[in-house]
A = this chain, B = another copy of it.
């Protein structure tokens, strides 16, 4: 992609945004603020978003997930049955009306429609277990949207729902999701900061679990056991002041961002909505459910909050919009053009700063702001020395020079 034709430009001065994530994403041209808590994804932002979605999808498929996509418009009926239609019960509903005055909701989660859907698609124990998930737009009427992409009124969520024949089968899958979530956060580059955090389990389980990324910008407070590398949330610390794994008592209070959660639902939704299957003995039983969420947009914001520096964003390899940022400075134009074409021929798309009226200083500052992992600079100097200058955004751009003839091989090995 040539930067001269890329839609959206960087801004010289940081915009007024709530949260460093939104400030950098807007300044670097990844997102656009439509109104408080509502953002659009511009081409660079959509690339990152899609890479995060791709990682989550791979990990969900690896544990047997099947992808589908439910609607946003919600029939009130099943929500009335579970008692969650009322604004008193769920205080972030957006509702609207059909022409005939029927009230409909905008999905803020999907337990009810998923359970309802399964009434049409399971009958026997042979149909279970089922693990179904989606990347679907949720609408939440937050009183105060804040912190950029961390708390918005409209966002895509990966929500997975599991339906198991019994508690044992449920528990086994629940543990698999824990592993998959650890894989996801580690591939997103925030694995070291993200802790499994014990939360209240509701009526069907002792605990549910959050994945909390330790970060000053977070809204949540967690209590970390350094020994076990896990944490408990506020609800739990009030009931028990010790680590649920090693029983150690002096836990460390930290600010954190909830980047995922997994929740045992038991048979609550199945019971209320009349979802059953016939077991091996011919008896009608309710499947045991779980739900499992990750917001790719919030994950994107968390990556920035944790990994930026004073010059801009620092994308981890697996989520960067491009693997390589090629900067063409004066005297390096023909080298840049040739290298760009060679990489395209190898099927490697890069961001190529080919702008002819932009100074070297601006190009370097933009590259720091945009945060692509591997940078190549070509200039009169490198042209004369028959080299390219290579540096890594995460290593403060310490420069290394590679012979021009070895460039392609080096780049193929290092992206």
Q: Which residues of A contact B (CB under 8 A)?
A: 4-9, 29, 32, 34-35, 38-43, 45-46, 49, 64, 66-75, 94-99, 104, 106, 113, 117, 120-121, 126-127, 130, 132, 137, 139, 141-143, 153-154, 357
Closest-by-CB residue of B relative to A99 is B143
In the bound assembly, the distance between CA atoms of A117 and B32 in angstroms comes to 8
With a CB–CB cut-off of 8 A, which chain B residues contact A35?
73, 75, 104
In the bound assembly, the distance between CA atoms of A5 and B97 in angstroms comes to 38
B40 touches A113 (CB 8 A): yes
B96 touches A68 (CB 8 A): no
Supposing A35-B73, A137-B137 touch, asked if A121 and B9 sit within 8 A by C-beta, the answer is yes
B137 touches A7 (CB 8 A): no
Of all A-B residue pairs in the complex, the 6 with the closest CB atoms, nearest first, are A40-B70, A96-B96, A41-B69, A94-B96, A35-B75, A38-B71
Q: Give the secondary structure class of A's interface.
A: mixed
B121 touches A66 (CB 8 A): no
In the bound assembly, the distance between CA atoms of A289 and B130 in angstroms comes to 48
A69 touches B46 (CB 8 A): yes
B71 touches A120 (CB 8 A): no
Supposing A46-B67, A99-B143, A121-B7 touch, asked if A73 and B40 sit within 8 A by C-beta, the answer is no
B68 touches A40 (CB 8 A): yes
B71 touches A43 (CB 8 A): no
In the bound assembly, the distance between CA atoms of A74 and B357 in angstroms comes to 36
A66 touches B113 (CB 8 A): no
With a CB–CB cut-off of 8 A, which chain B residues contact A95?
96
With a CB–CB cut-off of 8 A, which chain B residues contact A9?
121, 127
Closest-by-CB residue of B relative to A29 is B121
A71 touches B34 (CB 8 A): yes
In the bound assembly, the distance between CA atoms of A49 and B40 in angstroms comes to 23
A73 touches B32 (CB 8 A): no
A98 touches B40 (CB 8 A): no
A12 CB to nearest B CB, Å: 13
In the bound assembly, the distance between CA atoms of A26 and B360 in angstroms comes to 58
Supposing A99-B141, A99-B143, A117-B32 touch, asked if A68 and B94 sit within 8 A by C-beta, the answer is no
A329 CB to nearest B CB, Å: 19
With a CB–CB cut-off of 8 A, which chain B residues contact A39?
71
- Can you add 5 more A-B contacts, CB < 8 Å, to A7-B130, A40-B70, A72-B137? A34-B70, A35-B73, A35-B75, A72-B72, A94-B97
In the bound assembly, the distance between CA atoms of A74 and B9 in angstroms comes to 23
A65 CB to nearest B CB, Å: 10
A40 touches B66 (CB 8 A): no
In the bound assembly, the distance between CA atoms of A137 and B137 in angstroms comes to 9
A-B contact pairs, 21 of them (CB 8 A): A5-B64, A9-B121, A32-B117, A34-B70, A38-B71, A38-B73, A38-B75, A40-B68, A40-B71, A41-B69, A42-B68, A43-B66, A71-B154, A72-B72, A96-B106, A98-B153, A99-B142, A99-B143, A106-B106, A126-B357, A137-B137
A66 touches B32 (CB 8 A): no
A115 CB to nearest B CB, Å: 13
With a CB–CB cut-off of 8 A, which chain B residues contact A40?
68-71, 113, 117
With a CB–CB cut-off of 8 A, which chain B residues contact A75?
34-35, 38
B34 touches A46 (CB 8 A): no
A125 CB to nearest B CB, Å: 12
In the bound assembly, the distance between CA atoms of A69 and B106 in angstroms comes to 19
In the bound assembly, the distance between CA atoms of A154 and B39 in angstroms comes to 20
A53 CB to nearest B CB, Å: 11
With a CB–CB cut-off of 8 A, which chain B residues contact A8?
121
